Chain A
Amino acid sequence: MASPIEELKTAIRQALPDLDMVIAWTAGPDSLSHTPLFITDAADIERIEWDSRCSQNLAGYLTSLRGKKVGIVAKGCDARTIVELLQEKLIDREDVTIFGLHCQGAVDARKVRTELKVGRGVQGVTIDGGAASFAVNGETQTARLGQVLQEKCFRCTGADAEVCDHFIGEHGQPPQVDDAPVSTLDMLEAMGMEDRLHFWEDQMTKCIRCYACRSACPLCVCQDHCAAQSRDPHWVDQTDHPREKLMFQALHALHTAGRCTECGECERACPMDLPIMTLKQALNRQIKDIFDYQAGTDPDKTPPLFQFREEEEHIKERKW
């Protein structure tokens, strides 16, 4: 049987003539990072890469390509983003062709670089059971998954792209990690309010205000008109105070409440390693409790904050 990557290439080769482009991944500028590839020419299909270094959530490009026929390669979490975009009517189902994959987990290139000191010459990454192995200059180096996976993968709710047009390879489970580090959210929820504020203020001293977190978020659609940089209204000032930066994070989190699929792009894009997906996870927990809703799971549902109901099932308004 063909390997998943060969099967993927074959499927794309067949579909490409009817599409304007296909978005996939290819080898990146260093051996731990793969990078998006926009395929319009069949010759580029040979350049496709697919392994645990394919981190980017390519679904973020779909809204800007609306009106075109686009093929897209998607992991489990990426497909949840696509579902959310469909629910919000930001993209059209008939224009998107989804090549769904089973994902073994995505490695965090920074963790690998700094903790394992593996940097140069990685030729391949495979995940099997509780370990990741790196083919480095003809030798194999292994690590426990708890050391190298991205934060989001520890709580993956489904590693297969559930909604797709072509499923490549075999269905499977999310990575099995028995030594996942305590999540930042659990750590914070065990702390008092004062300490939580100190935690965030300390984190925010590192923020350089590049807004990569926002630009990388596939659900941030205001983009060029973001409140963070607007002088009118003037929500956030430009001084370097941690509370101003936290104010922006609060804005971002609230704008994605009930929409965020925990794809992790905000956190992965942050060059300063701020654990900002935690803020969205905290809101998602609330949304789950109040509305029993999880973003990105059902294309036919309407996100709870997009609709008005006279009476909510879990909110008791009329006690008397």
Chain B
Amino acid sequence: MLAARYITTDKLVPWLLSLSESRLVLAPIRKGGQTVFQPLEADSELDLDGLATSSPKAALLPRCETLLEFHYSKGEEAPSRTSVEVRETLHDQPTFLFGARPCDVRGFTVFDRVYDAGSKRDIYYCTRRDNTLVASLACTDPAETCFCHRVGGGPGDSTGADLLFTFIGDGYVVEAVTDRGNDFLLSQTLHDAGDRVETALKTREAVKAAMPEGEPLLGAPEQVNKLFDDQPFWEDVSAKCLSCGACSYLCPTCYCFNMTDEMHGNDGVRVRTWDNCMSFQFTLEGSGHNPRAAKAQRMRNRIGHKFNYYPALHDGNLACVGCGRCISHCPVSMDVREIVSKAQTRAMAEEEQIND
């Protein structure tokens, strides 16, 4: 049986601040009009009301990560010969990620299958993942744009987390999900949860039951696949898109990156930055040719990756966790649910025509 503890609302921030003495504590913090994951400090305004604006993916996959630093120097005897020194820059600071939502944390498992896959282990990602204890917070008030329950998750899902917090009115029940979460919880002087665990479970079930019904989007891969060559379909669903990329930068599962060397004089860094399939440069080849030059082709890539190519490679797991950020922060209010549902309907209609 894994440990369960309890902490009252007024003790939460002092406890998190005490944790921050020995590790980096990342939490959803109100900054201007938005909520972003940042290191918690004494004067930070913790915001646990809803989903943060940007997902916590930067904790594991920073927007810009220095992979290595290099320095060129000229040989003293033969100035025409330059040598280069290279220094690796691994980030292994112990981190406590607090207040991520179940969808966001499930998103980490989407990364794990790619960046921690047997021989294809990305040391930058894995080092951060190994050093980060993930504490998620069950949702008690899902937004209109949330649809975790239609893509295999739920407002109280603990997939990918080490600890699960549930708010039950006057405080939080904290349940261990993994062994390392358990060890961590046992090392903390928090109250024993007792029968509050039961209340937490009931709270999570009630929230899930109250989510509006909607067709599961899990059967989508074959249907989206069928529409690959259906140009009018992709043109129709992408007509209002601005190709801006806000959707994929805010998405907790988008993991494509770009790599560039940035030089200043003889010093330089090799950086890995987020890339984004909605941008023209995404697959722009050195020749000048771009296989995804049109907006409709880029939209097909984004939807295809999440609902077709990824699940085809990873046991049917979708690369969408239903957080709804791409809906609520799209400048023209595109709705990914609508696109996938349309794809399902269209593919089924085409099938019926063939059968007729």
Contacts and interface: CB of A to CB of B under 8 A. Distances in A.
Interface of A: 28-31, 33-36, 38, 56, 60-61, 110-111, 114, 119-120, 203, 206, 208-212, 214-216, 223-224, 229, 231, 237-240, 265, 268-269, 271-274
Contacts of A240: 62-64, 273
Given A210-B245, A269-B246, A239 B143 contact: no
A272 B144 contact: no
Given A35-B332, A35-B335, A223-B243, 20 more contacts: A29-B144, A29-B327, A31-B144, A33-B333, A34-B333, A56-B333, A206-B31, A208-B63, A208-B274, A209-B63, A209-B273, A210-B245, A210-B250, A211-B279, A215-B245, A215-B331, A238-B262, A239-B262, A240-B63, A271-B53
B337 A29 contact: yes
Contacts of B242: 60, 212, 215-216, 269
A274 B333 CA distance: 19
B337 to A, nearest CB: 7
A33 B145 CA distance: 11
Contacts of B338: 29
B331 A210 contact: no
Given A114-B33, A208-B63, A28 B333 contact: yes
A229 B276 CA distance: 12
Given A29-B333, A29-B337, A238 B64 contact: yes
Nearest to B47: A114
Contact of A209 (B144, B249, B281): B249
B44 interface: no
Contact of A206 (B32, B64, B332): B32
Contacts of B33: 110-111, 114, 273
B27 to A, nearest CB: 16
A207 to B, nearest CB: 9
Contacts of A29: 144-145, 327-328, 333-335, 337-338
Contacts of A224: 280-281
A269 B244 contact: yes
A203 B331 contact: no
A248 to B, nearest CB: 14
A223 B273 CA distance: 20
Contacts of B258: 238
B267 to A, nearest CB: 12
Contacts of A210: 244-246, 249-250, 276
Contact of A239 (B271, B276, B279, B281): B271
Contacts of B281: 224, 229
Contacts of B262: 237-239
A62 B111 CA distance: 39
Given A203-B32, A212-B331, A35 B246 contact: no
Interface string B47-59: 0000001100000
B36 interface: yes
A114 B52 CA distance: 12
A268 B331 contact: yes
Contact of A30 (B32, B145, B244): B145
Interface string B320-356: 0000000111011111011000000000000000000
A211 B239 contact: no
B269 A239 contact: yes
Nearest to A115: B33
Interface in B29-43: 31-34, 36
A200 B142 CA distance: 33
B246 A273 contact: no
Contacts of B287: none
B260 interface: yes
